[in-house]
Chains A and B, each alone.
Chain A
Amino acid sequence: MSHKAAPETGSVTSLGQRLLAPGDGLRQWWSTLSRPMKWIFGVIGFTLLALLPLHTPGFIDTPGISFGGTMAAFVMVAIIAIGLNVVVGQAGLLDLGYVGFYAVGAYTVALITSPDSPWNKMRPTGFFSKDWAWLSCVPLAMAVTALAGLILGTPTLRLRGDYLAIVTLGFGEIIRLLADNLSDITNGSRGLNQIAYPRLGETHKLPNGVFSSGNSAGHANYGTWWFWLGLVLIVGLLLLVGNLERSRVGRAWVAIREDEGAAEVMGVNTFRFKLWAFVIGAAIGGLSGALYAGQVQYVAPTNFNIINSMLFLVAVVLGGQGNKLGVIFGAFIIVYLPNRLLGVHLFGVNLGDLKYLFFGLALVVLMIFRPQGLFPVRQQLLAYGQSARKLLGSADDSKAVA
């Protein structure tokens, strides 16, 4: 998970490198925009994205599966990618068990709201009303996952590099095995059913609201509604994570990633900032898990396989580690392509079944020609980058002492 740029081979750029490079032009264009312009283009972009499930062009549509559902899965993985990007892309901590946090978030909601769970706290016996249960469980799920991140991170973040990767890999598996084997609590491999979800827009036609799985026909099905909810959350997360990036926190993360020893000597409390990265990443993973539990209304251990951890990591690496917009694109590829190819048959083979083969190949190609990802990033690390630029423009090095 090195952040070293591609070997600079001078003017010799292979075809492969050029084919994978359109992200550079886009990034260049984006970085020249002023902040208000970024906002305008951002709002337009997100609006177009939000309208996609309502007016789906034929070539984008997923014939084998609901397009709204695909987009709902996309926003969940996008949220995960944003969280994992904080840990892997910004702070440079290789976390191979991120799916564990996703699971903790999903199971927190499930254990509180599913009637199969012994810890069910729904009315009439419990505290949560049907209407507000899901929403009040979301911050709870984030808090529990953040705590899980703290518990995992405190002993393990003293490890570096490969050792951390191995321990986190173990964590992901432990969570899944716990869910599988604590049958008295988690209902084992049968999973937990009838999880709460937001009750909004309840009408005669849709007695359980637009977010219920009953809303499966019509213009905007329940997947589309979850997609919209996810988009709103993504915008909020991008703003918050961006604030962190352009502060001493984001700078500390990059310093740790680039040279941890030098960071420590320059007064960065490396352990504390690594722990923060872990906890923030975990909380964001928990948020996504809560969304997942609400949308599917069912969680089971098989949903949290270690292979999902790898897929999340692929989204981050593909999109460009450190680039929070790039990793959203990475998430889109990871979710959309398998669903798009689901109904496509070539030589009698369902291409959708070959997704791991494709992602493996894509990663190999990417690592050879473009190890920095499709959208590598020049991270903005200053809250007042513009005025810093002006200030440096006024600099006069002849005033230097020597």
Chain B
Amino acid sequence: MSEPVIDEELAALHRDVQAAEGEPLLETKDLTVKFGGLTALDSVTFHIKRGEILGLIGPDGAGKTTCFNAITGVYRPTSGTVTFDGSPLGRIKRYQITRRGIARTFQNIRLWGEMTALENVVVGTDARHKTSVPGALIRTPRHRREEKDAIERAAALLQFVGIAHRGEEKAKNLPYGDQRRLEIARALATEPKLLCLDEPAAGFNPSEKSALIELIQAIRDDGYTVLLIEHDMRLVMGVTDRIVVLEFGRKIADGLPAEIRDNPAVIAAYLGVPDDELG
């Protein structure tokens, strides 16, 4: 038996991405989320094109995470629609949204601490597996094939994000930065068309941030579309193709990073408006 070697190609997206690059992958229309009397998200309309990295930014409390949760099915929109890959997401369950092709990471890391890093990623690959309880009970050929594929792909993904040498450690024992990377690997394992990253650089130092920028770009180059929520402006400006800005639940700007940088409404939202300029 030859020594096993990780096949790097397995880290890339290997399902068909049907439409051409540049076509909208996800569109929200008048997306509104209300919590009782509070309107967290107010008629937000934007879209994400295939193959791009879209940044979703805004000051604290602007509704970024609410928007994210409405897209990934954690919250049900009060009104408005989310269309993904040509069909509405509607009232489907969260795990089905993952199977439709949206994966996410969490702002506060939510790994399965008692599992190893590799097992965490393998659970991600399981989202595409078909073996059910009877099949696993008697170890059908499909089950064996899926298990083999799962560890090969999971190992490739761990190497892709740079933590394969820690693959056998319990997730809870990994250093903070590696846990963030593991979350990305786990999300990629579900073979998403759209990868949503919720503040992936939170708590990172500048060199870790540059490494993360490279990683996100490599993910896009592998055929994934990325939605990025981030506070850090340097990171957002450095990595995104397009930016949507929210403030108080409303979209106030939408454009290329250079346009957003010079947009007076965005500057006002982030820095405030000097008193003498107030009308």
Q: Which residues of A contact B (CB under 8 A)?
A: 3, 240, 243-244, 246-252, 254-255, 258-259, 261-270, 276, 280, 379, 381-384, 387-392, 394-397, 399-402
- Whether B5 lies near A394 (C-beta < 8 A) is yes
Q: Find B164's partner among A255, A267, A395 (CB 8 Å cutoff).
A: A395
| B21 in contact (CB, < 8 A) | no
B147-A265 in contact (CB<8A): no
Distance in angstroms between the alpha carbons of A400 and B114 in the assembled complex: 25
Could you say which residues of chain B place their CB within 8 Å of the CB of A248?
123, 126, 129, 131, 136, 146, 150
Q: Is the CB–CB distance between A265 and B104 below 8 Å?
A: yes
Q: Kindly provide the distance from the CB of B193 to the nearest chain A CB, expressed in whole angstroms.
A: 13
Does B234 interact with chain A (Cβ within 8 Å)?
no
Main secondary structure of the interface of B (DSSP, over half): helix
Whether, in the assembled complex, B91 has its beta carbon less than 8 Å from a beta carbon of chain A, the answer is: no
**A contact residues around B213 at 8 Å (CB):** 402
Contact partners of A401 in chain B: CB under 8 A: 160-162, 214-215, 218
Of B104, B124, B155, which is within 8 A of A395 by CB? B155
Is B159 a contact of A395 with CB atoms below 8 Å? yes
* B contact set with A: CB distance below 8 Å: 3-6, 8, 72, 74, 93-95, 98-99, 103-104, 106, 110-115, 118-119, 122-124, 126-129, 131-133, 136-139, 143-144, 146-148, 150-152, 154-155, 158-165, 167-168, 186-187, 190, 210-215, 218
How near does chain A come to B144, taking the closest CB pair, in angstroms? Answer: 7
Nearest 3 pairs of A and B residues by beta carbon: A267-B127, A400-B162, A395-B164
Complex Cα–Cα for A261 and B212 (A):
26
Q: How far is the CA of A247 from the CA of B130 in the complex (A)?
A: 11
With a cutoff of 8 Å between Cβ atoms, the chain B residues found around residue A243 in the complex are 136-139
CB of A164 to closest CB in B, whole Å: 20
User: Chain A at the B interface: mostly helix, strand, loop or mixed?
Assistant: helix
Query: Do A268 and B127 have beta carbons less than 8 Å apart?
Result: yes
Chain B residues lying within 8 Å of A399, measured Cβ to Cβ, are 8, 159
Q: State how many angstroms separate the Cβ of A331 from the closest Cβ of chain B.
A: 23
Asked, given contacts A252-B123, A261-B110, A392-B158, whether A268 binds B95 with beta carbons under 8 Å apart, the answer is: yes
Bound Cα distance A390, B167 (Å) = 11
CB-based contact B4/A394 at 8 Å: yes
* Contact of B4 with A391 in the complex, beta carbons under 8 Å: yes
Determine if B115 and A395 form an interchain contact, defined as CB atoms under 8 angstroms apart: no
Are B144 and A383 interface neighbours, CB within 8 A?
A: yes
Known contacts: A248-B131, A392-B164, A401-B160. The answer to whether A267 contacts B99 by CB under 8 A is yes
Residue contact A402 to B212, C-beta cutoff 8 Å: yes
Contact between chains at A265 and B98 (CB < 8 Å): yes
A-B contact pairs, 28 of them (CB 8 A): A3-B114, A240-B137, A243-B136, A243-B138, A247-B136, A247-B143, A248-B146, A249-B136, A250-B136, A264-B93, A265-B74, A265-B98, A266-B127, A267-B95, A382-B122, A382-B151, A390-B4, A391-B152, A392-B165, A394-B5, A395-B159, A395-B167, A397-B165, A400-B160, A400-B162, A401-B160, A401-B215, A401-B218
Instruction: Name the residue of chain A whose CB is nearest to the CB of B155.
Output: A391
Q: Return chain A residues, CB-CB under 8 Å to B3.
A: 390, 394
Is the Cβ of B4 less than 8 Å from the Cβ of A255? no
CB < 8 Å neighbour of B215 from A270, A383, A402:
A402
Q: Are B8 and A381 in contact (CB under 8 A)?
A: no
What CA separation (Å) do A379 and B119 show in the bound complex?
A: 11
**With contact pairs A251-B126, A383-B147, A395-B155 given, residues A276 and B218 touching in the complex (Cβ less than 8 Å):** no
A270 and B155 contact, CB distance less than 8 A: no
B174 to chain A, nearest CB (A): 13
